[in-house]
């Protein structure tokens, strides 16, 4: 492509400035941010000033109509992902949408269908798999070194880590609690390592007792416990059409240790990965050689300065090269459909089907 990609930003707050805009700024020879949009004009202007963006909007429809854009990042609160994403796709613009893709699977179906009908890229902002340790382990798995992965345990557990700012504790605007905020990352990473098998059902349970308790300390500062309307802990058992099973644990607040890892069990080897690390403890391979049990730690995990920057680079390269994104909207649909089933299961007490059709 002879010219730089023209990029717009919809939702110009912390995630946009700290992750998306930073990513585009890292590839100035390939893309330039030409417009930012936010319903709060001061927020949009602050983002524009920080990244030297020439034009500010408060209406994304106006931005889409006036700017000739190649791509946009949608970094609004979860409740407002769907409409600007679909509007951009219908305008012929590729979209990188923050996670989770939608508030529920039905919204994701509409978004995926819009991308399919427009013939444009819809990428989900799931940066964890772009970190060094996941990149190394995915190559190891794809080489056949672990055999068939039939079970995994995915854990995103905070002992006292409720994000009291923004809308993280507001179910109406966020859609859920730790399950869709941090559980989405560890589950996506796990599914990516397993080749994204098709889910068929989920059995789950959620609690909200600790998050509402005003007597408990929170590592990220106090918040209004009366406004806590999401779950603080979620667990689930997820079944897939290839016979694989994943157990998922995700919490903002629990009386247990902080854990951010996935354990994978394959027919040739197993693995434990802490996706945010790059040192000798980031990955452990559990295998056997000549009837000797071996615990192996790789010494050549690639260094990745910022997984957020790498996800934006992947979006830019997919547009330029006319290739599919490595994190398509369909992955976001699968995740939201699983979460829908978990939330429903917690109410009904039954194992619930997961529908990923669109």
The boundaries of every CATH 3.40.50.720 domain in the chain are 5-125+309-324
Q: Could you tell me the pLDDT band of residue 280, with boundaries at 50, 70 and 90?
A: confident
- The residues, ordered by sequence, that sit 6+ positions from 348 with a Cβ below 8 Å of its Cβ are none
The closest of 96, 118, 16 to 325, measured between CA atoms, is 96
pLDDT tens digits, residue range 256-270? 999 999 999 999 999
By three-state DSSP, how is residue 309 classified? Answer: helix
Per cent of the chain over pLDDT 70 is 99
pLDDT over 90 at 278, yes or no: no
Q: At 293, is the pLDDT very low, low, confident or very high (cuts 50, 70, 90)?
A: very high
352: number of Cβ within 10 Å: 20
pLDDT score, position 122: 98
pTM of this structure? 0.96
Q: Does residue 184 carry a pLDDT above 70? A: yes
Q: Say yes or no to pLDDT of 1 above 80.
A: no
**To 5 degrees, how large is the angle CA 195–CA 71–CA 311?**
40
Q: What is the mean pLDDT of residues 186-195?
A: 98
Give the model confidence (pLDDT) of 85-110 as tens digits. 999 999 999 999 999 999 999 999 99
pLDDT at residue 3 tops 90: no
Q: Mean pLDDT over all residues of the chain?
A: 97
Q: pLDDT tens for residues 223-257?
A: 999 999 999 999 999 999 999 999 999 999 999 99
pLDDT for res 2: 58
CATH superfamily for domain 5-125+309-324: NAD(P)-binding Rossmann-like Domain (3.40.50.720)
The predicted pLDDT at position 276 comes to 81
CATH class of 129-306+336-353: alpha beta
Where, residue-wise, is CATH 3.30.360.10 in the chain?
129-306+336-353
Measured CA to CA, the distance from residue 143 to residue 17 in angstroms comes to 37
How distant, in Å, are the alpha carbons of 111, 147, 167, 226, 358 from that of 107? 6, 35, 19, 28, 10
Q: Which residues of 301-312 are buried (b: 16+ CB within 10 A; e: fewer)?
A: beebebbbbbbb
- State the pLDDT confidence band at 279, using cuts at 50, 70 and 90: confident
Q: What band does 277 get if pLDDT is binned at 50, 70 and 90?
A: confident
Give tens-digit pLDDT for 110-141: 999 999 999 999 999 999 999 999 999 999 99
Under 8 Å CB-to-CB from 128, ≥6 apart: which residues? 134, 185, 186, 188, 189, 275, 276, 307
Longest dimension (CA), the chain: 67
In angstroms, the CA 195 to CA 243 distance is: 13
């Amino acid at each position: 492509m002879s010219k730089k990609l023209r990029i717009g930003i919809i939702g110009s707050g912390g995630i946009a400035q700290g992750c998306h805009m930073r990513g585009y700024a890292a590839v100035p020879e390939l893309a330039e941010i030409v417009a930012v949009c936010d319903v709060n004009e001061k927020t949009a202007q602050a983002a524009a000033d920080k990244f030297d963006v020439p034009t500010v909007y408060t209406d994304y429809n106006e931005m889409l109509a006036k700017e000739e854009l190649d791509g946009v990042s949608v970094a609004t609160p979860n409740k407002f992902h769907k409409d600007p994403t679909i509007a951009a796709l219908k305008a012929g613009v590729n979209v990188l949408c923050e996670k989770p893709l939608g508030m529920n699977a039905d919204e994701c179906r509409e978004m995926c269908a819009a991308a399919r009908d427009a013939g444009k890229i819809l990428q989900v902002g799931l940066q964890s798999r772009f970190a060094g340790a996941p990149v190394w382990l995915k190559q190891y798995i794809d080489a056949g070194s672990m055999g068939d992965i039939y079970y995994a345990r995915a854990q995103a557990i905070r002992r006292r880590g409720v994000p009291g700012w923004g809308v993280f504790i507001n179910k109406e605007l966020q859609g859920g609690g730790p399950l869709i905020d941090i559980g989405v990352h560890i589950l996506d990473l796990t599914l990516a390592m397993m080749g994204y098998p098709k889910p068929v059902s989920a059995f789950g349970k959620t609690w909200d007792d600790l998050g509402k308790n005003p007597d408990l300390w929170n590592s990220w500062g106090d918040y209004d416990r009366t406004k806590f309307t999401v779950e603080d802990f979620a667990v689930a058992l997820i079944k897939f059409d290839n016979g694989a099973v994943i157990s998922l644990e995700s919490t903002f607040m629990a009386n247990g240790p902080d854990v951010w890892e996935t354990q994978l069990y394959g027919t040739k080897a197993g693995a434990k990965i802490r996706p945010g690390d790059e040192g000798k403890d980031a990955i452990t391979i559990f295998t056997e050689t000549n009837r000797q049990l071996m615990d192996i730690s790789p010494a050549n995990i690639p260094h990745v300065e910022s997984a957020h920057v790498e996800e934006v680079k992947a979006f830019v390269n997919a547009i330029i090269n006319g290739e599919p994104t490595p994190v398509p909207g369909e992955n976001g649909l699968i995740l939201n459909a699983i979460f829908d089933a978990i939330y429903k299961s917690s109410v009904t007490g039954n194992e619930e089907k997961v529908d990923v059709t669109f």
